[in-house]
Amino acid sequence: MTILILGSGGREHTFAWKLVQSPLCQKLFVAPGNSGTADIAENIDLSVTDFDAIKTLVLEKQIDMVVVGPEDPLVLGIHDFFLNDSDLKHVAVIGPQKAAAQLEGSKEFAKEFLFRHNIPTAAYQSFDASSLEAGYNFLETLSPPYVLKADGLAAGKGVLILNELDEAKAELKSMLVDAKFGAASTKVVVEEFLDGIELSCFVLTDGKHYQILPTAKDYKRIGEGDTGLNTGGMGAVSPVPFATESFLQKIEERVVKPTVAGLQKDGLDYKGFIFIGLIKVGDNPKVIEYNVRMGDPETEVVLPRLKNDLVEIFQAIANQKLDKIKIEIDERAATTVMLVSGGYPEAYEKGKEITGLLNLTDVLPFHAGAIINDGKVVTSGGRVMAITSFGDTYQEAIKKSYQNIEKLHFDKMYYRKDIGFDL
C-alpha cells in the first residue's frame, strides 16, 4: 500500500517509524514531515489543512490510506472531505469524521456526551456572553480552585485554573466578553476541580469494536517538579505504574465501553484513535477530556511498545474488523524525554544545528521540530526531539534516555531532568 501521514511532529515520526516496518507498506509519504521522517519516507511540503492540495497529492501518488496525526484537519472535516469526493472515497482515512471530532473541538460537546452516556467526569455548566451573570453565580457555588475552559481549540492554552473567586470571575469575563482566546472562548465550560493524579488511556476503534493500547503519563509543565508554563509535553512514561489491573478494569467498564457505545448510539462515525485524558480521584477514573488523535509525546512511548503490524491494524479499522486483531504489547517500560529550544514555550530561536545523533546507542530518537537544512539537522520548532528508551523498569529506561541525551547538543538545548519523578 501507499500511505500518507499528515503532520510534522514526534508523533508523526513515530507513526512513520512503525509503519515502514510493515511489509504491507510499500511507499510512505509524510506531509509536511521533519528531518526524522525524511530519513525513512518521502516528505511533501504542504499544509495539513489544505484539503485541495492533499487531494491533488493523494491522486497523483495513488495513495491508499491517510493517517491523520494532528486534530486540526479532523475537526475541520478531512475525513468527510474524502467520503464526499467520488475520486477520494475509496481511500482509507484513519481519524474520525467531523461530527465525532467535536469531542475534541468543543469542550461543551464533550461534556454533554459524557453526561448523556453516564461516563464519570467533573460537574460543569457552560456559558456565553449573554449568560455571564449566571456564570458568576455558578462560580460562587463551587469551591476553589476554579476551572475555566475555552470551548474551542486553543492549542492547549485554553484552560485556566484559578485559586481566587474574583480572579475566576474576571477571567470568565475576559474569555467571554473580551475574546481572550478568540472565537475559541465564545463559550466557556466552568467545571468542578478534581484532585488526583492524571494518566491517559488510548483506544483504537472502528466505530463498532475497540482495542485498548497501553496507558501513558505525560509531563506538561516546562519546569522540574511540574512547575512553570504549560507545554505540548516534556516527556512520557508507559505503562503508568499506578494503573493497576483493577483500575484498568474500571477504566474499560466505566469509560471505554460507554464511550464506544455512546458514539454508536449518537450516530457518530469514528475510525481512529481516542485519547482519553483521565484523573484518578480516590480509586476511581474520571474523564478530563477526549482528544480525537494520539498524544505527543505519548505516541513516542505507546507505539514502540505495540508489537503488532500497524498497517494491519489500520486496515482492520478501515474494514470494521478490529475485533479480529489481537493486540500484543511489549512488557518492557518505555520512557521519552523531550529536548526543547531554550525559551520555549515562549519565544525561542530556530536553525540551531543538532549534533551527536550518530553517537546514540540503544535509543529511538524521534524528531519533532527539526528539519534538514544544507545537509544538517537543525531545529525548527520549540519541541525538537523525543529520546525514547526501553527498560525492564521505567527507572532503567529513563536512565538510558538521560545517558544518551548527554551525547546530543544544540545551542540553548533544554530538557526536564525529572521525567517519572512522581511515580
Ligand X SMILES: Nc1ncnc2c1ncn2[C@@H]1O[C@H](COP(=O)(O)OP(=O)(O)O)[C@@H](O)[C@H]1O
Residue ranges that bind ligand X, judged by CB under 6 A: 122, 147, 149, 156, 158-159, 191-194, 198, 277, 288-289
Judged by CB under 5 A, the chain residues 366 through 405 that form the site for Mg ion are none
Burial class (CB in 10 A: 0-12, 13-18, 19+), 281: middle
- With respect to ligand X, which residue has the nearer C-beta, 38 or 368? 368
- With respect to ligand X, which residue has the nearer C-beta, 220 or 257? 220
Distance CA 370, CA 138 (A): 45
Least distance between ligand X and beta carbon 312 (Å):
31
Least distance between ligand X and beta carbon 221 (Å):
10
Strand boundaries in 144-271, DSSP class E: 146-150, 159-162, 187-191, 197-205, 210-212, 217-218, 221-223, 227-230, 235-238
Least distance between ligand X and beta carbon 194 (Å):
4
Distance CA 87, CA 65 (A): 13
- With respect to Mg ion, which residue has the nearer C-beta, 262 or 277? 277
Could you tell which of Mg ion, ligand X, none binds residue 387, using a CB distance below 5 to 8 A set by kind?
Answer: none
Least distance between Mg ion and beta carbon 56 (Å):
34
Parallel, antiparallel or unpaired: strands 210-212 and 187-191:
unpaired
Q: Count the site residues for Mg ion by CB under 5 A.
A: 1
Judged by CB under 5 A, the chain residues 242 through 281 that form the site for Mg ion are 277
Could you tell which of Mg ion, ligand X, none binds residue 191, using a CB distance below 5 to 8 A set by kind?
Answer: ligand X
- With respect to Mg ion, which residue has the nearer C-beta, 277 or 342? 277
Nearest to 209 by CA among 93, 318, 311: 318
Could you tell which of ligand X, Mg ion, none binds residue 159, using a CB distance below 5 to 8 A set by kind?
Answer: ligand X
Could you tell which of Mg ion, ligand X, none binds residue 108, using a CB distance below 5 to 8 A set by kind?
Answer: none
Rounded to the nearest angstrom, the gap between the alpha carbon of residue 103 and the centroid of all alpha carbons in its chain is 13
Residues 335/391, Cβ–Cβ less than 8 Å: yes
Residue 121: left (phi > 0), alpha (psi -120 to 50), or beta?
Answer: beta
Could you tell which of ligand X, Mg ion, none binds residue 193, using a CB distance below 5 to 8 A set by kind?
Answer: ligand X
Distance CA 11, CA 147 (A): 28
- With respect to ligand X, which residue has the nearer C-beta, 191 or 296? 191
- With respect to ligand X, which residue has the nearer C-beta, 59 or 229? 229
- With respect to Mg ion, which residue has the nearer C-beta, 145 or 277? 277
Least distance between ligand X and beta carbon 322 (Å):
26
3-state secondary structure 278-307: EEEECCEEEEEEEECCCCCCCHHHHHHHEC
For residue 288, give every residue at least 6 positions away whose Cβ sits within 8 Å of its Cβ, in sequence order, or none.
121, 122, 194, 198, 277, 278, 279
Binding positions for Mg ion, rule: CB under 5 A:
277
